[in-house]
Structure 1
Amino acid sequence: MMNGAPVDTHAPGHDVASSISRNGFTITTQKLPILKAGPIDEMHKKLGITPPEMIFGDNFARIEHAASGWNIDFNAFDALDRVDKTGDSMLKVSYSKEWQQNRQKQFEDIKEVVKPFDWSYSTDYKGSTAGPPFRPSEKPIPLALLKRPDPILFFDDVILYEDELADNGIAMLSCKIRVMPARLLLLTRFFMRLDDVVFRIRDTRVFVEFATGEVIREYTAREEKYEVVRKTLAGTKEDVLAIMRDPNRLAQYIPVVEQSLENAVLQ
């Protein structure tokens, strides 16, 4: 659902926030370098868990509607705050203890003991909202409108965090947004591949129709055991290893385990 942008599309730079306004909606993104030690330590203390290897704490994607006071914001801190901090959801694999010990060494100046938590950084983050709330809905995102060859006025791809899970896979949260003359689509995706264990893809899509002020939020979670996916792919003529690294191609091989639809009409 998130197409690549054409060459002449405005793509924001990596050092400042960039924005575009359409019909009362303002879309803003910011991409800055990876956080340094000081801000990472501060985030660690506030979150209560060890942050991922690569944390882009100053990055964000935001949609605002000034007239209604509504906005939705996607950022690393709030996403990580949704990670299970009790350890109840922690994946039970042989190297989890070793991973905890290795990561603790990176924060030797912090005297707290590393507490159990979901070290795969799996999050069900759907964005941080303010203003008129979303309501449960059955109206899906209108795919036909998104397939139109409308010009893309603004496109950005913002990474929020990434971790290689002690060289045993990947966990990454990123946000893509494209703005057309009459509507926009934002996709925030959590992708996790834990080798020999599990695949997870958790997508939050936010669709806005500018003329009506309607906002639709769709959340879809997919999950399957690693070996099940590997066997399925082995029966195809596809490049198995390449697909395992590409959530766009991988999604069709992983079943949906949770889905929800919500909407809000802003005035």
Structure 2
Amino acid sequence: MLNWETRSTAATAQDWLATQEKLRGDYSGCAADFRVEQHLGAYGAAEHALWRQLFDRQSKVARRFAASAFLDGMRNLDMSSDRIPDFEAASKHLRRLTGWEIVAVPGLIPDDAFFRHLAHRRFPVTVWLREPEEIDYLVEPDVFHDFFGHVPLLTQPVFADYLQEYGRKGDEAMRLGATKILARLFWYMVEFGLIREKGTIKAYGAGMLSSATETAYSVESAKPHRIRFDLTRVMSTDFKIDEFQSTYFVLDDFGALFAAMDRPFAPIYAALKLRPPIPAGETRPGDILISRGRAES
């Protein structure tokens, strides 16, 4: 699960790290844009075995609950449970399909570096893998969350274009002090997004598809609200980082998400700064409810 509360900007990796609580990754050798080498040979047998365990479990979940675009992306990448993937090999597929590539990073990186990579069609993927005791819950994103959860959709042209446009919006959001508002769009529509396929709700968000239990919950549970995607509504809504979501937003198709990026965001930021965010789990007049949850939080 990606913890946006740790992000900020700084001149160098060292300056940025000085403002953070201890992070898992090794930032000592990273470049100015926070890239590192993957060093595929440094992963041990136990790490590859844990990858296989995670991959086999989540693949079964994905086959049942994931959007067809995500499953197509897995096939496009020739994803395998054999071992932790080679980022460069995956990047060759991505460059051919959508012009994206993977860049290895130590872990969480600051907003400005994150946005800049996305704007140039580079997706940052963490190099370290969680410990066995963290198999069901992780505070910081690891290689399994980043690669299994995010990379398959980078093979899909419309979603890949959306993610680049999101990165391009980053400079303006930082300049206007609106990164937290913009982060809600990433949280709800990249980490925890749902989509309708032939009338059926499917999951495509990385946060759920890399989780053992939230994927089924997001699609089948009667507890959360499922609300049709509306850009301003999403950007108005707080999110929870340490429990299942109480509200999910549902796309009709990825084209709607990409089209929303044509709107100027500055007026949205200005309006939203004048009122408190909508608490996670609440519904509001004007919401188009796909399904109402059991109770307001």
Q: Note whether the superposition's TM-score is higher than 0.5.
A: no
Identify, as 1 or 2, the structure richer in strand.
1
Identify, as 1 or 2, the structure richer in helix.
2
Q: Tell me the TM-score normalised to structure 2 length.
A: 0.28
